[in-house]
Amino acid sequence: MSFLKLSGVEKFFGPVRALKGIDLSINKGEFVVFVGPSGCGKSTLLRSIAGLEPIDGGRIELDGRDITKLPSSKRDLAMVFQSYALYPHMTVAENMSFALRLAHADKKVIDEKVGRAAEILNLSKYLDRTPKELSGGQRQRVAIGRAIVRAPKVFLFDEPLSNLDAALRGQTRLEIVKLHRELGATSIYVTHDQTEAMTMADRVVVLRDGAVEQEGPPLKLYDQPANRFVAQFIGMPQMNVVDTAELPALGAIVGAGATDGFIGVRPEHVAITAPGAGQLAAQVDVIEALGADTLIYARTAGARGGPGVQLVSRQNSRTSLKPGDPVGLDIASHFHLFDREGRVVGMRGAA
């Protein structure tokens, strides 16, 4: 039996249908990530679960209880926002214990819960400081600690890392995953960053225009996307998707089924060869040397005098190539075929 169940959830903002009949089941202890481009409805869906946005249709159940019409304070959920939303005049301990003090919890219980949360989050030596005395990462941990002390049934994270720099994002991402496992919590996490989705989630839910495009384990979505949108959204750099009309030679390489539509090839399945040795002739456009990986952007000759098609290759070695150098491209036996509407019509080499 699912722990959190959404059935036909609808949300309108005036004439705009922001959520289009969302059906979703989340199991106890699962870490689920909602991901999608800006405006896809992921934050609206999270706020609807939290009770911060009333829904216009459907039903939300938590642990067998209908919470559809309950106020946020009665849903047994805790939310961590993109902005830390800390009280600047309160200490870390006072910020973390605020909800418990409002509920008139016993002081000994409050001290125990705050102490335990601070220990888990490495905040014990900062309990007497105010938010202005903390770094951005520490402030976000205080916000997470405020949620922990409430011991909710579900943690809701609304893009909590977007205000942090790259190094802190990576560190805090690991801390949230470890925290989830240590607490045995049920967590829902919203992000526009598909790298966060891939690395944190037990299950990813990809949304577009208020509807679920696909859900499943991260690597299943990577290897077996349901459509062109998911294929290009999941993966960094994104999948090469080529219109067969713009590069007929690629359709000929791939073979039957690729005559009218799009061919998708992951960057790691595009190999750079010596000029004249590959299946396609191309010229290097841009090289991005990332240290362990190198991204090589190469442009093929265009059909009927057109500008050609750019393909990106990922290789785990360094290169002496320079922009303008001629190269060959080999398309390995891993690809996806999409029709004109973006539906998958074939694939080869998927796990």
Report whether pLDDT(330) > 70. Answer: yes
pLDDT recorded at residue 13: 96
Q: Which residue has the higher pLDDT, 244 or 56?
A: 56
Q: What is the pLDDT of residues 7-33, one digit of tens each?
A: 999 999 999 999 999 999 999 999 999
pLDDT band for position 342 (cuts 50, 70, 90): very high
End-to-end CA distance of the chain: 29
The per-residue pLDDT for 302 is 67
Model's pTM, two decimal places? 0.89
Are 220 and 164 contained in the same domain?
yes
What's the CATH number where 93 sits?
3.40.50.300
Same domain membership, residue 259 and residue 163 = no
Same domain, 224 and 243: no
145 and 184 both lie in a single domain: yes
Question: How confident is the model over 34-50, as pLDDT tens digits?
Answer: 999 999 999 999 999 99
Q: 99 pLDDT exceeds 60?
A: yes
Q: Are 289 and 203 contained in the same domain?
A: no
Tokens of 61: 């159940």
More confident call, 171 vs 255: 171
φ, ψ at 234 (rounded to 5°): -90, 120
Same domain, yes or no: 217 and 243: no
From CA 115, how far away is CA 27, in angstroms rounded? Answer: 29
CA 187 – CA 156 distance, rounded (Å): 6
Number of domains in the chain: 2
Q: Please, is 202 exposed, middle or buried when counting C-beta atoms within 10 Å of its C-beta (0-12, 13-18, 19+)?
A: middle
Say if residue 73's pLDDT is above 80: yes
Answer whether residue 114 shows pLDDT above 70.
yes
User: What residues have CB less than 8 Å from 103, skipping those under 6 apart?
Assistant: none
pLDDT at 89 over 80: yes
Asked whether residue 255 carries a pLDDT value surpassing 90, the answer given is: no
Mean pLDDT of 325-330: 94
Higher per-residue confidence, 195 vs 255: 195
Please determine, for residue 227, whether its predicted confidence score (pLDDT) is greater than 90.
yes
Please say if the pLDDT value at position 141 is more than 60.
yes
Residue 285 has which token pair? Answer: 């456009």
Residues 196 and 280 in one domain: no
DSSP string of 67-121, one letter each residue:
-TTS-GGGS-EEEE-SS----TTS-HHHHHHHHHHHTT--HHHHHHHHHHHHHHT
201 and 110 in a single domain? The answer is: yes
| Domain end marker among 228, 248, 272 | 228
Average pLDDT of the residues in 73-98: 89
- Two tokens, residue 315: 């290789």
Residues 136 and 21 occupy one common structural domain: yes
The arithmetic mean of pLDDT across residues 312-333, rounded, is 92
Q: Is the pLDDT of residue 52 over 80?
A: yes
Residue 172 or 96, more confident: 96
Residue 222's pLDDT band (cuts 50, 70, 90): very high
Co-location of 166 and 50 in the same domain: yes
Q: Residue 163: what pLDDT? A: 78
Q: Mean pLDDT over residues 215-235, rounded?
A: 95
- What is the mean predicted confidence (pLDDT) over 3-9? 97
Q: Which domain CATH number covers 285?
A: 2.40.50.140
Task: Say yes or no: 143 and 271 in one domain.
Answer: no
Last residue of a domain, one of 188, 203, 228: 228
- Mean pLDDT confidence for 256-277: 86
- Predicted confidence (pLDDT) at residue 340 exceeds the cutoff of 80: yes
Q: Which domain holds residue 316?
A: 237-348
Q: What is the pLDDT of residue 350?
A: 62
> Among 51-55, 109-113, 178-182, which is the least confidently predicted range?
178-182
- Identify whether residues 12 and 29 lie together within a single domain: yes
What's the pLDDT tens digit per position in 279-292? 899 999 999 999 99
Last residue of a domain, one of 204, 228, 252: 228
